[in-house]
Amino acid sequence: MSVNLPFFKLFPNDFMMRIRNLNNEEIGVYTLIVVQMWDSGPMSKDAIESYVGDVPAKVLSRFPVNPGGNHYCDWLEDLREKAEKLYKAHSDGGRRTAATRYGVDGGKLRHVPEVA
């Protein structure tokens, strides 16, 4: 499922561990890549470089390459998977509630008897 998720959870302690040993410029590049990957998913090295310019090897090494040849962020993909599952669960729950409350069944309005 591909859902437009407008934000992701950032856990400060985890993030600080991931950027350990990076200088300020490298932290900025790393953060820009992570944010872009949240929106676009895994990216080729060329796409990353067109987005942020030259990428220090120390930063690029933190993004492994998937079988398709694109760099990805493993922890970000885990967060995306959890967020998509939660979104789907909430969406399904909303549909069930609407069907019960308003008599909607498969997109069609069911006859709901009036209460006297």
| In-domain check, residue 2 | no
**Alpha-carbon span 106 to 109, nearest angstrom:** 8
Q: Report pTM.
A: 0.72
Provide the 3-class DSSP secondary structure of residue 105. Answer: strand
pLDDT value, residue 81:
84
- Identify the bridge partners of residue 43 per DSSP, sorted by sequence position: 71
* Domains identified in the chain, total number: 1
Please identify which residue in the block is written with the tokens 């932290």.
27
pLDDT digits (tens, 9 = 90+) for 43-63: 999 999 999 999 999 999 999
Q: How many CB atoms lie within 10 A of CB 31?
A: 16
Q: Rounded to 5, what percent of the chain is helix, strand, coil?
A: 55, 5, 40
Q: Would the pLDDT of 1 be above 90?
A: no
Domain housing 66:
12-109
pLDDT value, residue 97:
73
| In-domain check, residue 78 | yes
Among residues of the chain, what percentage have pLDDT more than 70?
77
| In-domain check, residue 57 | yes
| In-domain check, residue 29 | yes
